[in-house]
Amino acid sequence: MMRIASVFTEKKHAALIAFITVGYPTLEATLEAVPLLEKCGVDMVELGIPFSDPLADGITIQQASFEALQNGITPAACLDAARFIRKKSNMPLIFMTYYNPVLSYGQELFCADSSRAGIDGLIIPDLPLEEAGALEESTLNHNLDLIYLLAPNSSEARIREVADRSRGFIYLISVTGVTGIRENAPLGLNEFTSKVKKHTDKPLCMGFGISTPEQAAHVSKSVDGVIVGSSIVHIMGTQKQWKPPLSHFIRSLKKAIQTAK
């Protein structure tokens, strides 16, 4: 069974999925963070490959990407990091990046190297569904799940197509906008998820703007997985001794999700 699929087998609560930017605040921090996240209850990790124009991301992850690039982080360095992490963990790992780094690397080679490094799936938010055929074929060739995104304003036709083509899970964007820390939980989640569930029984995971345990608990009632990124990146980037507050935050997210579900 694929590692991503195994997360959603007979689970009584929503999965907790964490996002971190590779190389932020340092590469060493990334390598230390993933085992810590797993120990504290994270079920899956998105490893963000930094890119100079992260159009789907808000200021927190934009800044993290900029600093990671300044630290010399490249797709090759991210692959090395994934290989290192895979030796210590069997948790599903996903690369989240943009299409330019994949295309520049060579998409067939990128998929082959990602698979060899122990990556389980890819999220490419700026790759139009209509232009994703070649990458889809490459991911299939190398046993990677290509995960597509849906927004609250996605049409029924788009929902049907994403439901048919997304593998691993479907990424639901909680708001029409970019990632970032927000004060309030998004509205209309039940309507959005119900609309998607009419077309698929694949796992649905929601991200963008989920920043607190209360928000995670609220979202978890409607979906199979909750994705948290900006708050984690913020803790790692702004607190010199980031491990204790990150551990506390992750454990509080996990507890809130388990209680709510």
Say whether 38 is catalytic: no
Can you tell me the distance from the alpha carbon of 218 to that of 191, in angstroms, rounded to the nearest whole number?
14
Say whether 201 is catalytic: no
DSSP secondary structure, 44-102, as one string: EEEEEPP-S--TT--HHHHHHHHHHHHTT--HHHHHHHHHHHHTT--S-EEEE--HHHH
Q: Out of 57, 120, 145, 224, which one is annotated catalytic? A: 57
Nearest to 225 by CA among 54, 40, 32, 8: 8
Burial of 183: CB neighbours in 10 Å, binned 0-12, 13-18, 19+: exposed
Q: Out of 46, 113, 120, 224, which one is annotated catalytic? A: 46
Task: Answer yes or no: are the C-beta atoms of 27 and 73 closer than 8 Å.
Answer: yes
Can you tell me the distance from the alpha carbon of 214 to that of 54, in angstroms, rounded to the nearest whole number?
27
- Which residues are 19's β-sheet partners? 46
List the catalytic residues: 46, 57
